Structure 1
Amino acid sequence: MSSELLMESLQDSSSRPRTSSRQATLRIHDPRDRAGWQAWSEAWVRCARADAFSHPSYLVDRAQPGEKPLAADFDDGHGSRVLFGFLLRPIVSDALGRAVAEECYDITTPLLYGGPQRFIAAGTHEETLLTSFWEHFRQWAQDNRVVSEFHRENPVAGPSPGYPGQRTEHAGHVVKGLEGRSEAEIFGDTSKSFRRTVRRAEAAGTDILIDETGARIDDFLDLYYATMDRNSAAASFYFPREHFDMLNTSFAGRITYLYALEAGRPTSAELLLQCSDIGYSLLGATAEAGLLSGANSLLSFRAFLYARSRGIRHYVLTGGVTNSDEDSLLRYKLSMAKSGLRRYFTASQVTDENRYEQLNRGHDTECGFFPGYRCPRCEQDRAGIRTTEVES
């Protein structure tokens, strides 16, 4: 099926919803169309509890070339709704690098987290609602040559009941609990070394500046790009200025830039995204001077207090760089939240078993990567093999 035919199918599924005996409907919204954007936005307000990672602006911004940001909008016919924002990606080669002859696709979600958002009407069981949603979604996926689906579960929200695929546990993520805690209790839930560093930065006269409008975005970008350079970060972490413009516009009033100032100069910065009662430490940056002085630790502690003042109950610090409990970044985050380790899972399902098996031929299944045909290790090992096509 060509991409044009696929999009015609998507548009058809939006105008002629799939219907069951209980009048449940599944619509697919394409934000490139004004009506699709409006319908997605309305469903987001209804279902998402201000979850930024399922907002059309966020997915449009995070879509890479060739990817289509879409949303599945499910109405069970009894007042409950489910919204699932995702990225539809073309599959161009198999695990051995051979070109795929006939178009097919898979689904992922952008960082940080993804999965279905829902509004549950009185009298509706959550598992029943989500089981029905996934049944409808899988049928749509099979009709549209979608091979697999993958998303990262939010460690605060936890798993979605009724998921038809596999859940895989990884090294934990860190969530600082703020609800009902005094300043002393928040400070006490940190390591001795962290508290010592905070006190040292306070004694040195480090100031904290809060920017709720993005007026000092240039200061943040200077620090952020310098930090990425110093750590030899991957290109995907060099977010362009337009990304921050999107955040400031689409989530105005819920984006805050916090800075630690030493002698009036920013040496550490943190970007806080508020989604209802959940706060996310979305990005951070620190100059070498800020690491030595402890300005970054003081900033993190003050960010907790600021978040609490905004009604945030859970402050998500995410995880480490590697999938290991001994990851140095993960251990540092735990020093700020000793009781904050949460279990973290990814969710994956295959919607076309035959095609998935074809695409994975030659893949080392022991590596555990999903989907196997996109395994980075396979991509490194398969240079020069792109000579034949995979039969469809």
Structure 2
Amino acid sequence: MKVDYRKDIYFDPRLGEIYARLEAGVFEEFLFENEGGQIRHQFIRRPILHGSPDLPALYDLTIPYGYGGPVIMGLEEGGRDQLLEGFDQAFSAYCQKEAIVSDFVRFHPLAGNALDFSGLYQVRHFNRTVGINLADFEDPFQAEFSKSARKSVRQALKTGMSFELEEYPDSLADFQIIYTQTMDRKEADDRYYFDDAYFQAFIDRMPEAVLKCRVVFEGQVIAMGFFLRSADILHTHLSGTRTDYLHLSPAYLLRYGLVQWGKAQGYQLIHSGGGRTGDPEDSLYRFKKRFGQQTEFDFHIGQRIWDQAMYNRLVELTGMEETSFFPAYRAERQSRD
């Protein structure tokens, strides 16, 4: 399997602009080039609402929802050290000029950029994400799905459920209804809810990336998926099931249908993401593993404090010294980090 991560949707500026609104920030792209190569870093610059008249306007950086981080776009032979050193100097100057206090990164599991930038950020392994390898297995259903998952799919098909996929959908309103019902049932955190403008932004700004999937039973849509595609990767973004049909486990047919379609269309990989925590027994991670027995990726997060003195003042101001959350002064708000 060989994927071109540089063309992945998580490095698409349009996606960053969609999420900048949710973060109440501004999407920006920092491009650096020298004789060693090229680096691109996309992020959201957020104002820090410190509420202190004694402090100037301050900002911090975060990655749009999903994955990203600085990534090497081109590298000359023997130029790695020169490139990284030059980027560090240039980006440090940018952060100083723009009053950037801290920087949080979710490195892309498929890009390997956590290793490239481990000397510039405090990087730690968070968990593993799950994939379904469409390229290297003639039958990904047999190779990647667990025995119990295959059984559930066969039962769904035998029951009479069917899978439908719609490219370039005109609306996601029907999906929103099922998704919101699912989040309500799970008593999900507010950050897992999205408004109408969020879904419409995908329809308006990047329609070619949107896949709307349905599981139909006895003429009723009982489960739906809102998935994203890029050059050779499919991402399982959001999904939901109607409460009255949970006992039929239509989520298994959603995955199966996407696998069959993706394989036929020549995609290399379905990336399902990881769990909510770093625990290998995380329930969401274990569920995703049922469809990706053979394929995993290491997911790292990174952090950097650009202005230590100001960071300390903000932490003191918010009284959040005793927290592992980063940045500590946002611990109570915990936006989408």
Match of 2:89 among 129, 135, 148: 135
Is structure 2 residue 110 aligned with structure 1 residue 156? yes
Q: Which residue of 2 aligns with 1:84?
A: 41
Matches within 5 A, 1:37-52: 49-52=6-9
Is structure 2 residue 138 aligned with structure 1 residue 182? yes
Matches within 5 A, 1:91-240: 91-93=48-50, 101-120=55-74, 123=77, 125-126=79-80, 128-160=82-114, 161-163=116-118, 164-183=120-139, 185-215=140-170, 217-240=172-195
Deviation at 1:300, TM superposition (A): 0.5
Contact 1:107 1:146 in 2 (8 A): yes
Is structure 2 residue 207 aligned with structure 1 residue 265? no
Deviation at 1:262, TM superposition (A): 0.5
Q: Deviations over 1:99-118 (max 9, x none)?
A: 76222111111211121244
Q: Which residue of 2 aligns with 1:31?
A: none
C-alpha separation in 1, matches of 2:232 and 2:80: 21
Q: 1:193 to 1:368 in 2, by over 3 A?
A: same
Q: Which residue of 1 aligns with 2:30?
A: 72
Q: Deviations over 1:41-73 (max 9, x none)?
A: xxxxxx983333343332222124642222112
Q: 1:65 to 1:165 in 2, by over 3 A?
A: closer
One-letter amino acid of the counterpart of residue 84, structure 1: H
Contact 1:91 1:100 in 2 (8 A): no
Contact 1:290 1:296 in 2 (8 A): no
Size of the aligned set, in residue pairs, is 327
One-letter amino acid of the counterpart of residue 34, structure 2: D
C-alpha separation in 1, matches of 2:274 and 2:102: 25
Alignment TM-score, normalising by the size of structure 1: 0.76
One-letter amino acid of the counterpart of residue 105, structure 1: Y
Deviation at 1:337, TM superposition (A): 1.0
Q: Which residue of 2 aligns with 1:17?
A: none
* SS in structure 2 of the partner of residue 156 of structure 1: coil
In terms of mean alpha carbon deviation, does 145-154 or 306-315 score higher? 306-315
Contact 2:63 2:105 in 1 (8 A): yes
Is structure 2 residue 287 aligned with structure 1 residue 329? no
Contact 2:225 2:238 in 1 (8 A): yes
Deviation at 1:171, TM superposition (A): 2.7
In terms of mean alpha carbon deviation, does 53-62 or 338-347 score higher? 53-62
- Identical-residue share of aligned pairs (%): 25
Across the aligned residues of Structure 1 and Structure 2, the Cα RMSD in angstroms comes to 2.6
Q: Which residue of 1 aligns with 2:302?
A: 347
Deviation at 1:326, TM superposition (A): 1.4
* SS in structure 2 of the partner of residue 53 of structure 1: helix
Deviation at 1:250, TM superposition (A): 2.9
C-alpha separation in 2, matches of 1:217 and 1:265: 17
C-alpha separation in 2, matches of 1:202 and 1:132: 56
* SS in structure 2 of the partner of residue 155 of structure 1: coil
C-alpha separation in 2, matches of 1:340 and 1:111: 22
Contact 2:35 2:83 in 1 (8 A): no
C-alpha separation in 2, matches of 1:155 and 1:65: 23
In terms of mean alpha carbon deviation, does 197-206 or 323-332 score higher? 323-332
Alignment TM-score, normalising by the size of structure 2: 0.87
C-alpha separation in 1, matches of 2:161 and 2:171: 18
Q: 1:242 to 1:309 in 2, by over 3 A?
A: farther
C-alpha separation in 2, matches of 1:213 and 1:359: 45
Choose 1 or 2 for highest CA Rg.
1
**Unaligned regions of 5+ residues in structure 1, if any?**
1-46, 380-392
Q: 1:370 to 1:55 in 2, by over 3 A?
A: same
Match of 1:243 among 198, 201, 205: 198
